[in-house]
Amino acid sequence: MIHTMGKALLLLPAAALMLFAGCEAEPLTAELPQEGGTPVVAEPSFVYPGEETEISHRWTGTDMTFELRQGKGRTDAVSAEFVTDDAVLKEMTEKYAGLKGMSLFTLLPAEKYELPETVTLPAGQEKTTVTVRIKDVQPGTFVLPLVLMSGEDEIGVQYVEVVSIPEPEIDMKWLDRTPSVTEPRFVAIIEAAENDIRNAGNYILYPDGVGSPETARPLFDMVVLFSANLNFNEYRGRPELYFNDNVRKVLDNSGVFIRPLQEKGIKVLLSIMPNHQAIGFSNMDISGDRDMINDFAQEVYDALQEYGLDGVMFDDEYADYPTSPESEQPGRPMVQMGSFHFFLKALRDLMPVVDGQAWKDRHNLITMYNIGPNSNVRTGDHGWGLFSNNFEVITSDLWNGSTTMWSEANLTADARALKEWVADEANAPVLEEISGIKAGELFDFIWNANYARGDAHNLATGIGTGYTYIAGLTDDLAKEKYGMAVFEMSLEVGETGDIQHQQQYWGLSDYQSDTPGRNETIEATLNNQRQREYELVMCFNLQYVPDEWDGESNANLYLNDFPRFMRGLGHDGSPEVHFVGDNYDTFTPAYMR
């Protein structure tokens, strides 16, 4: 029996692969094909009710009831047993993990589940229930392969994922805290292709040192999964949400990756950015009923609900916007005033802010990574300032218009077209609509993408300019919503073979030696944020740090970084950060490839 079983198992990955790739099998209840007018006799099947076309299911903490169903055209009795051979089940588990693209699944120990010794379906009976009891599961990520055999014949295979999350050893009252300059909300944006986001939940902050464990809490208030894409569907003529394989892997396994963070009170957001397809947040069509905008807002909202996420972060890079009418691709307008405004308003209407809503109950966060030349605030001397609602600036000769010179003569075709559209009196009613949308009030948070310095050169609140580039973002709101200090946390292997921060984002630049880097020290950046009283710190790409490196014990660089940040922001206590829990290396960081 075992030998025959082994042969049958070799066929499972191909079928499962089709399933995970999104190919839907025919429902088991479909009408049977005919051969010469005689129905084909179907074999008995082993299924999970309601998920007949799937073979992978998730345990939710209660007994699971499967069904053994009689095949059509058959009335004979069926007697079956489960395969319990440990070697066979381990082989199946390894193949399952391979199909899922992750090595973290292990076989659920035999003492953690109960199966009926035999399953009997009497002659003439259509179906019978099969109860699977899972119990006393320790924290971990397991798989229970269920293989039902009738003699030498395999009736069916089902997999049960068992994800057990340990109870957080922290006082959940931390969610009621009020952020401050010295103890800001820390945010980690993590590249899904290289890092396991669960590690972000294992950084524990002791604001007053380990001698005061009662105040211990997760370091990060938010973790952003980077990144889904805004693609263009040629057939529908609409933007659509797209997930690459790495992001899909995390979302499809939300119980493995996302829930452990949320159980600690950490908000998990989805990053969305354009994808070199001439469509982005800044050129969705604002004409007519704006169905392009409204449909995409609904799609984003639906995705957040489906995967149980707490919000979204928009990143308007890599759109490859059309630069002239001649270069416009079918269905993709040029950059439009109000595109991001109307989209932001549509999404906020779907997930409104509730007065007095506690942080722990927030699942409606809308945020922006402040980068890209179009829909964000003015960035250096390359930005458009489309969120300013200050149309006089756009129509003036001083408008930058995506050029390096503040001159009408240097306006590009796309910038000139936008300027002319804003100046056209026929568009005054639309401009009035746009002017009523105060982006700074609709966003929950805005993070400044300035790796090199924190000197407000993105002019978030019009400091030193007399006008504001993000409408509705006052100085008071900026203290709560705007994060000026941004740090690239990616690591690299240094010249001496040790792991270090990527120096281009960490050390000072040296133009004489052509060494890229920061324009100011990290302390200067933190002091700048401290003076402006901003309550957010965003760090990009917090990577996996191995416990050992090059045969020796390896120190985690981040454990010193964050107390250093807090002291730079004026914290006068003894803050400490410790890594508590498993150090996950599910994905391979870039510096270890």
User: 579: helix, coil or strand?
Assistant: strand
Q: Enumerate the CATH 2.60.40.1740 domain ranges in the chain, comma separated.
A: 2-23+43-164
CB 292 within 8 A of CB 238: yes
Q: H helices within 447-511, ranges in order?
A: 475-481, 503-506
CB 362 within 8 A of CB 267: yes
Going by C-alpha positions, the residue among 461, 475, 455 that lies closest to residue 524 is: 455
17: Cβ contacts below 8 Å, ≥ 6 apart: 99
Buried b (16+ CB within 10 A) or exposed e, 189-222: bbbbbbbbbbbbbbbbbbbbeeeeeebbbbbbbb
Residue type, 469: Y
- What's the pLDDT score for residue 15? 42
3-state secondary structure 271-302: EEEECCCCCCCCCCCCCCCCHHHHHHHHHHHH
Instruction: Tell me how far CA of residue 514 lies from CA of 161, 509, 517, in angstroms.
Output: 52, 8, 10
Q: For the chain, how many residues are written? A: 593
Q: Please give the CATH architecture assigned to the domain spanning 2-23+43-164.
A: Sandwich (2.60)
CB 344 within 8 A of CB 313: no
- What's the pLDDT score for residue 383? 64
- What's the pLDDT score for residue 387? 84
316: Cβ contacts below 8 Å, ≥ 6 apart: 273, 274, 280, 281, 282, 340, 368, 371, 372, 374, 375, 376
Look up the CATH number of domain 184-592: 3.20.20.80
- What's the pLDDT score for residue 218? 97
3-state secondary structure 217-262: EECEEEEEEEEEEEEEECCCCEEEEECCHHHHHHHHCHHHHCHHHH
Tens place of pLDDT per residue across the chain (593 aa): 333 333 333 334 434 433 443 334 444 334 444 455 555 678 999 999 999 999 999 999 999 999 999 998 888 999 999 999 999 999 999 999 888 877 789 999 999 999 999 999 999 999 999 999 999 999 999 999 999 999 999 999 999 999 998 888 889 999 999 999 999 999 999 999 889 999 999 999 999 999 999 999 999 999 999 999 999 999 999 999 999 999 999 999 999 999 999 999 999 999 999 999 999 999 999 999 999 999 999 999 999 999 999 999 999 999 999 988 888 888 899 999 999 999 999 999 999 999 999 999 999 999 998 877 676 545 444 567 788 888 887 887 666 544 443 456 667 788 888 889 999 999 999 999 999 999 999 999 998 877 777 654 444 444 444 455 788 888 888 889 988 778 899 999 988 899 999 988 898 988 888 888 888 899 999 998 898 899 999 998 899 999 999 899 999 999 999 999 999 999 999 999 999 998 988 887 878 76
Q: Which residue matches tokens 């829990």?
A: 581
Q: Which residue matches tokens 């994808």?
A: 275
- What's the pLDDT score for residue 449? 76
- What's the pLDDT score for residue 36? 55
Q: Is 408 a catalytic residue?
A: no
Bond prior to 227 in cis (omega within 30° of 0) = yes
Q: Which of 54, 240, 299, 317 is catalytic?
A: 317
What gap in Å lies between CA 145 and CA 136, rounded to an integer?
A: 18
- What's the pLDDT score for residue 296? 98
- What's the pLDDT score for residue 376? 59
What gap in Å lies between CA 118 and CA 84, rounded to an integer?
A: 12
Q: Enumerate the CATH 3.20.20.80 domain ranges in the chain, comma separated.
A: 184-592
